[in-house]
Homo-oligomer: A and B are copies of this chain.
Amino acid sequence: MNSFGRIFRVHIFGESHGDCVGLTIDGCPAGLPLTAADFLIDIERRKGGVQKGTTPRKEDDIPIFKTGLFNGHTTGAPLTILFENNNTRSGDYEKQRAVPRPGHADFTAHAKYGGFEDFRGGGHFSGRLTVCLVAVGVIAKKLLKGIEIQSTLLEIGGEIDQEKGLNKAIEAKDSIGGIAECRVTGLPLGLGEHFFDSVESLLAHAVFAIPAVKGVEFGAGFAAAKMFGVEHNDAIIDETGETRTNHAGGIVGGITNGNELVYRIVIKPTSSTPKEQQTWNRETNEIESFSVKGRHDLCIALRVPVILEAVTAMVLTDLMLLNQKIKPVCVNRQM
């Protein structure tokens, strides 16, 4: 459901146009110093910059620490953080209820929750909730000392030059998809649990919590389908497990092999597009043309890298705790 992790357990809640979105982390080690300033950079990155193609909805997104923080350090008790929703315009959405937007959860959520779902701005299904993931990522990255996680956008609309890809969308007055990659260095050998909790399983599970993600691949990924065995196999060259190539993306048998972890996700074009499209109208029972109003991104992929880093950090922190590579109490203690 809305929880992830076995030891570092993250719970996410909130709606796009409700009072707030937020999270509780249970199992966060005690003694981690934490301030609102720690969140600034990543939360800013999530906003997608000032470039064209990102939504004009701007939230301050200052983390409000409600529980689990004391004298500037985590206490070991559940850490609860809220982000207020100040900049909402629900009026945009009220009249659209009869018209489930293609590509959005409008129709499926209505069916599943019997019409009781908070439909305003996508409610609990909104990309708004990814601010909670980013917050988790900030904390997880602080716990993952010496491990470097970096995510970049590889392409937009098939173009390696992002501006070019974005211009395609702007010209077409339509939204557009992209591919993001995440690379992690400094990981210890031996993370990942056998059979169902391989590193691939856990990362894949987590990345599909990012709205609009429709695929994930590790190392050579789908290109491996065309490769021969000798070509794909990464020759081990020393006792640290370093390999000559890295088609495996740093994971063999589901377990980190000490090389760089490399994986990619595909982000579909934003469902909300200014272009006219068709859908069925719940009230008239007829198919009608409409175009999505409201403030939306042309390319949601622009915001994804920092979120991808965050879920990666979340998964790895849980595995590091399970494998006793992070202590339950942070060592540089200060009282």
Contact = CB atoms under 8 A, between A and B. Distances in A.
Contacts of A324: 324, 327-328
B233 A108 contact: no
A189 B111 contact: yes
Interface string A31-64: 1000000000000000000000000000000000
B196 A206 contact: yes
8 contacts: A2-B26, A18-B67, A76-B112, A77-B118, A214-B219, A214-B249, A215-B215, A216-B217
A193 B117 contact: no
A236 B107 contact: yes
Total identical chains: 4
Contact of A221 (B71, B193, B214, B248): B214
Q: Residue among A172, A266, A277 with the most chain B CB within 10 A?
A: A266
Contact of A235 (B7, B66, B174, B287): B287
A137 interface: no
A174 B228 contact: yes
Interface size class of A (residues with CB under 8 A): 35 or more
Contacts of A335: 115-116
Q: Residue among A100, A192, A214 with the most chain B CB within 10 A?
A: A214
Q: Residue among A107, A193, A266, A268 with the most chain B CB within 10 A?
A: A268
A229 B67 contact: no
